[in-house]
């Protein structure tokens, strides 16, 4: 799949933003006043910025409101509904925390649940696609949720919880790669089933339908950079999980050093998740490539 | 609405004969010609006369080579357009309701006024039957020529899809695949019509007729074979003596 920068940015940032909102809704940390304002500004900046980035790849962004209508069948629509609901509920909760110095606990719980649901619906947009075996796995939503919860904990300053969640997310990441590498082969789809000619012999693409490229090849058959996969996986693991864990576990004296370490941990984590997300798209092979003799 | 109908009154679709398709691409051109002027936005091209031309097509013809374990390789031309699936994933994933399947005839269409061009439906189609038009930013797909097949302004003979009407080899057939007594259903039963990627669970309406077994080339050659076969494997007589004598000379073959 073509790794569109807007979508990579969206899924990374909004995942973090909604993760942070979930913690704030649960009262971790139980901030009020100005401190709360800063926390909510960061969370909304990430979540809303991500949502806006995702509209850039639409052909008709001005009609985006229509995407709220088909929640009965469409995970993309459900994502839109959940995201707006989470932002509205958490907005109310934030007003209480920032201006009234109160925490409306029930509202916070609902907001946290909606925030997590938003991340889940995002992951289901990809997981539901049988056409992309590397995404069509139960570990895909686990990966999105574990990234969001560990990144959220990091941003929410949950120093004791965050390293363990990061460790868990790193393990999920490894499991995702391991399973993903076998997904296409075990999906059973081959040029033989794609053409229905497989039982007569070995099928080979002889001539493509056109001399130039097309939408399908540009969007679904992305083979650039596959040779750097192992390196990028290493980078994603080190930046996304290992470095942030070290930063949090390193004993530091002054609070200044502590804050610096936290900042390094957050930035490294974001960069690592982006690398992982780039791989998520670039490595995903759509079965339509088989008609072109490619994967 | 992106909820799929549980059943459709009819299942209109195409039956494509891989045995007779000659790979001329006439259906590709006639499809583009008809559909760029009729239903919905035109099918745009980018850099059509430049170094890197590309464009939107609703029907494309691939060519595959099949090499059996024994015998000769076979070349198969393979037209591919939307298969108007009964369990169409492209419809249910659509967030706007722009994609829908009609109850009356099972045709899968895009209401372009509602489409936001998110592309998710094209992601969900295993067959590459949907293409986002770069100029219009909306999703294009085969309409089964919905604006021809019921069009009373056209002579009756033309009330079939443009690709079917054009095919010079008669490799494309159009009809109701939900009616077991229709010509297309009989053809599918007779020739063992098949689904593409059945494991995807899309239940395509369109069917493909597999190529018939080819005549054996060896059998045909046998008619002349006795006349062409070498009379003897070992050279005898004068030629045999010469062969041996030459071998004995220094530098001769051993
Ligand atoms: S062939 Fe593709 S576009 Fe057509 S109905 Fe099936 S899934 Fe949808
Ligand atoms: S591109 Fe258009 S038709 Fe396809 S899923 Fe998006 S809104 Fe629906
Ligand atoms: S039925 Fe019409 S739209 Fe579909 S491939 Fe044939 S000519 Fe094109």
Residue B222 pLDDT grade (very low, low, confident, very high; cuts 50, 70, 90)? low
C-alpha torsion A100→A103→A107→A113, nearest 10: 130
B130 lines ligand 1 (CB under 6 A): yes
Q: Return the DSSP state at B194.
A: B
Residue B112 pLDDT grade (very low, low, confident, very high; cuts 50, 70, 90)? very high
B45 touches chain A (CB under 8 A): no
Out of B59, B100, B125, B143, mutate this one to test ligand 1's pocket (max ligand atoms within 8 Å of CB): namely B125
Phi-psi region of B97 (alpha: psi -120 to 50; beta: other; left: phi over 0): left
Out of B82, B114, B121, mutate this one to test ligand 2's pocket (max ligand atoms within 8 Å of CB): namely B121
Q: Residue A27 has which token pair?
A: 């009262």
Partner residues linked to B141 by β-bridges: B130
Tens of pLDDT, residues B139-193: 999 999 999 999 999 999 999 999 999 999 999 999 999 999 999 999 999 999 9
Tens of pLDDT, residues A10-23: 889 999 999 999 99
Tens of pLDDT, residues A185-235: 999 999 999 999 999 999 999 999 988 889 999 989 887 777 789 999 999
Q: How far is CA A183 from CA A169, A231, B97, in A?
A: 20, 21, 31
Q: What is the pLDDT at residue B223?
A: 65
Q: Chain-centre distance of CA A122, in angstroms?
A: 7
Q: What is the pLDDT at residue B217?
A: 62
The angle formed by the CA atoms of residues A256, A259 and A265, to the nearest 5 degrees, is: 140
Rounded to 5, what percent of chain A is helix, strand, coil? 75, 0, 25
C-alpha torsion A269→A271→A273→A274, nearest 10: 160
Residues 211-230 of B with CB under 8 A from A: 211
Contact by Cβ (8 Å): A45, A39: no
Closest partner CB to A74 (pick from B73, B92, B199)? B92
Residue B99 has phi, psi (to 5 degrees) of -90, 135
Contact A131 B126 (CB under 8 A): yes
* Å from CA of A114 to ligand 1 middle: 33
* Å from CA of B180 to ligand 2 middle: 33
Instruction: Enter the pTM of the model.
Output: 0.89
Q: How far is B192 from chain A (nearest CA, A)?
A: 11
**CA–CA distance, A59 with B54 (Å, rounded to integer):** 18
Contact by Cβ (8 Å): B54, B131: no
**Helix locations, B44-145, DSSP H:** 89-92, 120-124
Contact B122 A219 (CB under 8 A): yes
Please report, for chain B, the start and end positions of each structural domain, with discontinuous segments joined by +: 12-209
Tens of pLDDT, residues B31-74: 999 999 989 999 999 999 999 999 999 999 999 999 999 888 99
Please report, for chain A, the start and end positions of each structural domain, with discontinuous segments joined by +: 1-128, 156-295
In this predicted structure, the answer to whether residue B231 has a pLDDT above a threshold of 90 is no
List, edge to edge, every strand of the sheet that includes B74-81. A202-207, B59-67, B74-81
The full DSSP string for B5-18 is: PS--S--EEEEEET
Q: What is the pLDDT at residue A20?
A: 97
The full DSSP string for A157-205 is: T-TTTHHHHHHHHHHHHHHHHHHHHHHHHHH---HHHHHT-GGGSEEEE
The full DSSP string for A64-126 is: GGGGGS-TTT-HHHHHHHHHHHHHHHHHHHHHHHHHS----HHHHHHHHHHHHHHHHHHHHHH
**CA–CA distance, B67 with A206 (Å, rounded to integer):** 11
Residue B98 has phi, psi (to 5 degrees) of -70, -35
Contact by Cβ (8 Å): A85, A59: no
Sign of CA dihedral B85, B87, B91, B97: positive
In this predicted structure, the answer to whether residue B249 has a pLDDT above a threshold of 60 is yes
Tens of pLDDT, residues A235-294: 999 999 999 999 998 887 788 888 899 999 999 999 999 999 999 999 999 999 999 998
Residue B214 pLDDT grade (very low, low, confident, very high; cuts 50, 70, 90)? confident
Q: B12-209 has which CATH code?
A: 3.30.70.20
B10 lines ligand 1 (CB under 6 A): no
Q: What is the pLDDT at residue B253?
A: 57
Least distant ligand from the CA of B139:
2
Q: Which helix (H) or strand (E) holds A224?
A: none
Q: What is the pLDDT at residue B246?
A: 81
**Helix locations, chain B, DSSP H:** 26-37, 89-92, 120-124, 146-149, 162-166, 183-191, 217-221, 225-228, 237-248
Q: Return the DSSP state at B188.
A: H
- Kindly report the protein residue whose alpha carbon is nearest to atom 5 of ligand 2: B94
Q: What is the pLDDT at residue B178?
A: 95
**CA–CA distance, B188 with B177 (Å, rounded to integer):** 9
CB-CB neighbors (< 8 A) of B28 in chain A? 209
In this predicted structure, the answer to whether residue B229 has a pLDDT above a threshold of 70 is no
| Across B9-32, average pLDDT | 96
**CA–CA distance, B77 with B17 (Å, rounded to integer):** 10
Ligand 2 nearest atom to the CA of residue B122, by list position: 4
Q: Residue B66 has which token pair?
A: 């099949």
């Amino acid at each position: 799949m073509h790794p569109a920068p807007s979508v990579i940015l969206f899924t990374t940032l909004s995942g973090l933003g909604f993760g942070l909102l979930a913690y704030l809704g649960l009262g971790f940390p139980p901030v009020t006043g100005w401190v709360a304002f800063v926390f909510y500004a960061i969370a909304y900046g990430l979540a809303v910025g991500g949502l806006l980035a995702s509209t850039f790849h639409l052909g008709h962004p001005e009609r985006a409101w229509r995407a709220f209508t088909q929640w009965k069948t469409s995970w993309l629509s459900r994502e839109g509904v959940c995201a707006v609901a989470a932002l509205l509920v958490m907005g109310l909760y934030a007003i209480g925390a920032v201006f009234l110095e109160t925490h409306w606990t029930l509202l916070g719980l609902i907001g946290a649940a909606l925030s997590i649901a938003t991340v889940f619906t995002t992951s289901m947009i990809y997981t539901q696609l049988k056409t992309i075996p590397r995404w069509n796995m139960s570990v895909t939503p686990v990966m999105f949720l574990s990234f969001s919860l560990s990144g959220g904990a990091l941003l929410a300053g949950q120093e004791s919880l965050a390293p363990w969640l990061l460790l868990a997310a790193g393990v999920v990441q490894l499991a995702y790669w391991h399973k993903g590498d076998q997904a296409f082969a075990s999906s059973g789809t081959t040029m033989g089933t794609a053409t229905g000619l497989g039982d007569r012999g070995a099928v080979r693409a002889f001539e493509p339908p056109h001399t130039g490229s097309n939408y399908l090849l540009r969007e679904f058959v992305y083979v650039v950079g596959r040779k750097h996969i192992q390196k990028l996986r290493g980078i994603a693991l080190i930046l996304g999980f290992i470095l942030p864990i070290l930063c949090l576990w390193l004993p530091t004296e002054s609070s200044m050093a502590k804050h610096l370490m936290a900042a390094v941990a957050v930035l490294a984590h974001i960069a690592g998740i982006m690398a992982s997300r780039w791989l998520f798209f670039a490595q995903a092979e759509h079965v339509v490539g088989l008609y072109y003799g490619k994967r | 609405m992106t909820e799929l109908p549980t059943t459709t009154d009819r299942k209109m679709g195409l039956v494509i004969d891989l045995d007779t398709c000659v790979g001329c691409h006439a259906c590709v051109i006639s499809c583009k010609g008809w559909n760029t002027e009729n239903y919905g936005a035109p099918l745009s091209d980018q850099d059509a006369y430049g170094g890197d031309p590309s464009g939107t097509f609703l029907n494309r013809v691939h060519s595959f080579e099949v090499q059996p374990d024994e015998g000769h390789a076979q070349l198969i031309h393979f037209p591919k357009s939307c298969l108007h699936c009964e369990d169409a994933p492209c419809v249910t994933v659509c967030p706007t309701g722009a994609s829908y399947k009609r109850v009356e005839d099972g045709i899968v269409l895009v209401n372009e006024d509602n489409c936001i061009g998110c592309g998710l439906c094209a992601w969900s189609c295993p067959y590459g039957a949907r293409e986002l038009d770069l100029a219009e930013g909306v999703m294009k797909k085969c309409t089964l020529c919905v604006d021809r097949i019921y069009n009373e302004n056209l002579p009756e003979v033309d009330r079939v899809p443009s690709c079917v009407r054009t095919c010079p080899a008669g490799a494309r057939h159009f009809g109701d695949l939900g009616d077991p007594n229709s010509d297309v259903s009989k053809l599918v039963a007779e020739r063992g019509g098949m689904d593409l990627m059945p494991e995807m669970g899309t239940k395509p309406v369109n069917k493909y007729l597999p190529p018939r077994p080819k005549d054996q080339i060896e059998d045909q050659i046998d008619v002349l074979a006795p006349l062409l076969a070498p009379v003897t494997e070992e050279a005898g007589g004068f030629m045999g003596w010469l062969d041996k004598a030459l071998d004995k000379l220094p530098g001769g073959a051993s």
